[in-house]
A = this chain, B = another copy of it.
Amino acid sequence: MIASVYIELKEGVTDPEGEATKKALHLLGFKNVKKVSSIKVFRIEIDSVSRDEAEKEVIEMCEKLLANPVIHNYRIEWVD
């Protein structure tokens, strides 16, 4: 099974990478860019007997390693 785990900054948390990218795009002449947000995605291939079991494990991975609950929201999408 393959999950895509989207790690996003929570509303209100500063996004320095997004800000820097927006600035760089403006400097390159893309003046109509209003906002840039950066998101991290991990595509995880996992061996599991069931989707439910796998989902439970991926949630645990997010909480233990992939996301920082203070600043991040995460979302899991199953690709396969």
Contacts and interface: CB of A to CB of B under 8 A. Distances in A.
Contacts of A71: none
Interface of A: 4, 6, 18, 21, 24-25, 28, 30, 32-48, 57, 60-61, 64-66
8 contacts: A6-B41, A18-B42, A28-B64, A30-B60, A33-B44, A34-B46, A40-B40, A41-B41
A36 B40 contact: no
A24 B38 CA distance: 23
Nearest to A33: B46
A43 B36 contact: yes
Contacts of A65: 21, 24-25, 28
